[in-house]
Structure formats: C-alpha cells, structure tokens
Amino acid sequence: MGNIEIIEDYPDDKYGPSCLVLGHTSSGRALHVLCSYPSRPIIKVITIYEPDPDQWVDDRIRIS
C-alpha cells in the first residue's frame, strides 16, 4: 500500500480505540483496513475489505 489515510476514527469503540484507514494496492485497488490505534505498541488488524462504491464517495466519505 502506498499512501495511507485515516478516514474514520473510533476512539470510544467498545473493543478499544480504533480507526479506519484507506490505502491502495500497487495496482490502484482501494482497500479499507480497520485496526487498533497506531499509537499503541502493537497494531491489531480487525478487518480488511474493498469499499463498496454504493456506500462510499471516492472511497473516503461514507454515504449516510
């Protein structure tokens, strides 16, 4: 993944602070990675998925 961007922040998540990160593969495919806060000593990846274009604008903004 080249450039990455935190697009959502969940400081009060019931399982511990986490965030949603947007990144792209070398072929340009968008991926969302939900993980624990990067400020922690060990980052835990919770899930990885391709954003659904019906639910996201430019893979960054969630459609309500």
Query: Where in the sequence is the domain holding 14, given as residue range(s)?
Result: 5-55
pLDDT in tens, the chain (64 residues): 468 999 999 999 988 899 999 999 999 999 999 999 877 788 899 999 999 999 999 999 999 8
- The total number of structural domains in the chain stands at 1
Domain assignment of residue 40, yes or no = yes
Tell me whether residue 62 is in a domain: no
Under 8 Å between Cβ of 20 and 8: yes
Question: For residues 15 and 22, what is the distance between their CA atoms, to the nearest angstrom?
Answer: 21
Gap between the Cα atoms of 38 and 57, Å rounded: 25
Residues 6+ apart with CB under 8 A from 45: 33, 34, 35
Whether 29 maps to a domain, the answer reads yes
Is 20 domain-assigned? yes
